[in-house]
Amino acid sequence: MYHKLLFLIVLIVLSSCSENTSEKTATSKYSNEASTLFTKITSERSNITFKNTIKDNLEFNFINYPNIYGGGGVAVGDIDNDGLEDIYFVSNLGPNKLYKNEGEFSFKDITVSSKTEDYTGFSSGVTMLDVNNDGWLDIYVSKAGSLKDDEGRRNLLFVNQKDGAFKEDAKKWGLDDPGYTIQAYSLDYDKDGDLDLYLVNYRYDFKNNTKISGTIQKQIEEITSDQLYRNEGDHFIKVTGGAGLHNKTWGLAGAIGDFNNDGWDDIYVSNDYLEPDIMYINQKDGTFKNEINHRINHISFNSMGSDYADLNNDLFPDLITLDMAAESHVRSKENMASMSTSNFMKLVEIGYHHAYMVNMLHYNMGNGKFKETGQLSGISKTDWSWAPLIADLDNDGLKDIFVTNGVFKDYHNQDYKTEFNKLNVKGKSFTLEDILDMIPSEKLDNYVYKNNGDLSFKKMIKEWGLEDPSFSNGAAYSDLDNDGDLDLITNNLNNNVGLYRNNSTNNFLQVKLKGPADNKIGVGAKVFLNNDTDSQFQQLYLTRGYESSVSSILNFGLGDITQVKEVIVEWPDGKTSKLAAVKANQKIVVDYASATNESMNFIGYSSHKNTIDPAQLGIDYIQKENDFNDFSIQLLIPQKQSTKGTGIAKADVNGDGLEDFFVGNASGAKAALYIQKKDGT
């Protein structure tokens, strides 16, 4: 009787949590007219005429602000709660635009009527959030650039008035920060239930962006440091210094997640130029500590955008950061100078990290540490890249990778630099126009990689219909037509936006969260899909990639699966909501009001990959290397060979039935033989 009653309750819960979509079958309504996974939607069809136009002038150009071609962001979200997600585009120097989704990939410019016009300063990123927890999305616009006027750099907060209009109210909320902000990130760093805000800032000075002084840069300027704002309910207060987050970097992106699996939000910051990336681990007392050297073996040198999501379905999110290395041999030689090995080692010696000019894919080992596989996985070189987005684009149950790239002027081009220096030596005078005419400009395709399910990826630009050369910066994904797959939006420099309709025919399940009073969107909640043989995991954070924010509805690809055994939501406070036998091809709403204190319990979730301290087993071996620079003998080797470590061999050397092992060492250091005891030590 109990089991029958429980089954009836589950059916009632499921029926109350379903939400209709415009298309509830796995067959896309566009599948008959599409030959590729994506179809480009033209501006004539979409009515989106926005362009982020940049033109260098004497006051503002790539010489006095090298990040002028960094582009603008894009944010998606249902700002009027009509069931269709709308789009906000950022223009660096022109007016930003808000477009209402009218269905069938038709949009209406409502910028003026919504009172979200913005003609001030140099805009960069944008994110949607519910700042006052009224159930209506608000819009936060970040300001950067080299403007010395604080007022022109103050971030903007457009608060939704629930009548189609917004009110700019950043000052009232304490969020009119005058720093050089690239993007804002919502998180609950103090676990008090409401959402705080972290700002990634980009220094305006570039004098020391490649200069190695022999010491880590200590001098901090408050105005250029990243900032942390704590939510006090009806306003925010700056707590950066007390939280130990003052820095002096050229930040381009961040990623929020629990990197050490202790249940607290941590922060990853991707930094451009010389300053290394930062992994701020939450100390659970209101402070953070940078632990990147301890948790990650090496990083990107010119880190651009980043994302954090589970790529191999082991229920631990993985981290991707982008750099600028070109896949093309020609572009690689034209635009990238070789790294100085002596400078590289100097940076490592003074406390910076091992940094390389390629994309990094850090797989989460489940024990608070990561293993980097970018080159092994085949995603290490995507040219001058900006936004990485991890999402299941073909709905096969494995998350793929989308990357925007391209820079309007290749001002690192070595041929241009050589020609300029040659003419400069001859005493030729130049105007800004002369210099700009000398610099090459080449549009590039964005990259997309299909997940093969074995830590490797296959490039699918042409096969998936994304051959479309541009200078793309910010990007977002959203199911714009409610057909159960993720469409793509890119903000392109000096060109129309990129809008790509997804034509997937695989099954899906969408999860919309209805969170508690202080976090109605449910930011930070973890959603698990559990079947008998495998599981999937996503965590809801809106700000992803570069300067942009994505849909708040979580989209899970299911391939040919027609029913999910169990859907589990773990809310930020530890409570859980569970649904059983959930049919595919629908959108379900999970309400925090139904959450219980029941713990998570299914195969895979608790399988942390713990390591053992060798000292506990009586192994005190230390590898000692000689100080030797291999590159002074052979510059073209990919990495040092003399520090690869010595050999190791195992055998039962004393015939007691237990395996022992021998390990060598460097020249002049002692080797060691370890005999195993019956107790395992």
Starting at the earlier edge strand, list the strands of the sheet with 97-101.
107-109, 97-101, 86-89, 74-77, 548-549, 543-544
- 634: tokens are 């052979």
Are the C-beta atoms of 84 and 105 separated by less than 8 Å?
A: no
pTM of the shown model: 0.88
Secondary structure (3-state) at 12: helix
Distance from C-alpha of 296 to C-alpha of 319, rounded to nearest angstrom: 10
CA dihedral of residues 450, 451, 457, 462 (deg, nearest 10): 0
Which is nearest to 346 in space by CA: 219, 211, 247, 249?
211
pLDDT of amino acid 16: 41
pLDDT of amino acid 412: 86
How, if at all, do strands 318-321 and 138-144 pair?
unpaired
Q: Which residues of the chain are under the pLDDT cut of 50?
A: 1-16, 20-27, 214, 603, 606-608
Measured between alpha carbons, how far is residue 672 from residues 49, 649, 658 in Å? Answer: 70, 11, 17
Distance from C-alpha of 280 to C-alpha of 290, rounded to nearest angstrom: 4
Decide if domain 31-406+443-498 falls under CATH 2.130.10.10.
yes
Q: What is the Cα 137 distance to its own chain's centre?
A: 21
> Which amino acid type is present at position 580?
A
Which is nearest to 177 in space by CA: 224, 130, 218, 246?
224
Q: Please state, as a whole number, how many other Cβ atoms lie within 10 Å of the Cβ of residue 113.
A: 12
Burial of 70 (0-12, 13-18, 19+ CB in 10 A): buried
pLDDT of amino acid 517: 96
Show me where the domains of the chain are located: 31-406+443-498, 612-681
DSSP of 293-343, one letter per residue?
A: HHH-S-EESS---EEEE-SSSSSS-EEEE-----SSHHHHHHH-PPPPHHH
> Which amino acid type is present at position 183?
Q
Are the C-beta atoms of 562 and 582 separated by less than 8 Å?
A: no
> Which amino acid type is present at position 545?
G
pLDDT of amino acid 208: 58
Q: Which residue has the tokens 């004539």?
A: 44
Host H or E run for residue 467: none
Which is nearest to 318 in space by CA: 307, 306, 309, 331?
309
Secondary structure (3-state) at 611: coil
- 196: tokens are 């705080």
Give the angle subtended at the CA of 543 by the CAs of 542 and 549, to the nearest 5°: 80
Are the C-beta atoms of 249 and 203 separated by less than 8 Å?
A: yes
CA dihedral of residues 485, 489, 490, 496 (deg, nearest 10): 140
How, if at all, do strands 278-282 and 660-663 pair?
unpaired
Q: What is the Cα 30 distance to its own chain's centre?
A: 30
Secondary structure (3-state) at 524: coil
Distance from C-alpha of 559 to C-alpha of 77, rounded to nearest angstrom: 26
pLDDT of amino acid 33: 61
Distance from C-alpha of 53 to C-alpha of 69, rounded to nearest angstrom: 10
